Structure 1
């Protein structure tokens, strides 16, 4: 998938470090996760995620400018997916990718995967501080599912959103 000079594709092992650094930069650098949180190690460890989940990257001018982790229900990285749901996590767009439609392209690719593979819905968890992401999810038709909201180990409230696709 390519749009406006941005290509969405599966991550390559040589890009694991760049994806990990970008994910930490967005989550920690933009104040979503405390730098002392044990979650930072998980955000940085792209190789472990890639072993049991699908990682997509957005590439512009040869650089990784965005990424998302796609987890099928019942797998290690599916936190909230129930039977028939495809979950995505760790959606990030670096500063150099902002305004290029990278986030939208990554989420649309996840939705396409869900439709192609016959999943009934796509689900995600978002944080209260992720306002740009929330606007994107709302625009694409995701709806808040308050009865599925949960809290991180730190006590931070997390919002679950869902989009029926089939």
Structure 2
């Protein structure tokens, strides 16, 4: 089973606290689809940029949950514009190689070991660049972020 993350930038004043409304943001939007199995592990060991900050934990799986009527489905997650700016700053300054070095020993056994490292490094690096570009652009626009994590 693969995990996928869909991201959508939304102007903060337009946000609604409704799972149905948030789900509609993703209708017909295949462009936001990103494979993300274990991507959060890249950021889990990273140090936040300042005291009290938590962007490393918010890059992939962070945000305020908005629960659905069907409680068996994972909640949608919402980051405020300020949180999205924090994540953008963290990602813009992050050294991917250092992040990879902290996570590689945990990740490589799941993907075929040391022989698979060049391919896995590349896949995680691409996902990191995509996330960085998304968050930097979102922060420049002053938008909030809605996340939909699901397994297929």
Task: State the TM-score, normalizing by the size of structure 1.
Answer: 0.25
Which of the two has greater strand per residue? Answer: 1
Larger radius of gyration: 2
Which of the two has greater helix per residue? Answer: 2
Task: State the TM-score, normalizing by the size of structure 2.
Answer: 0.27
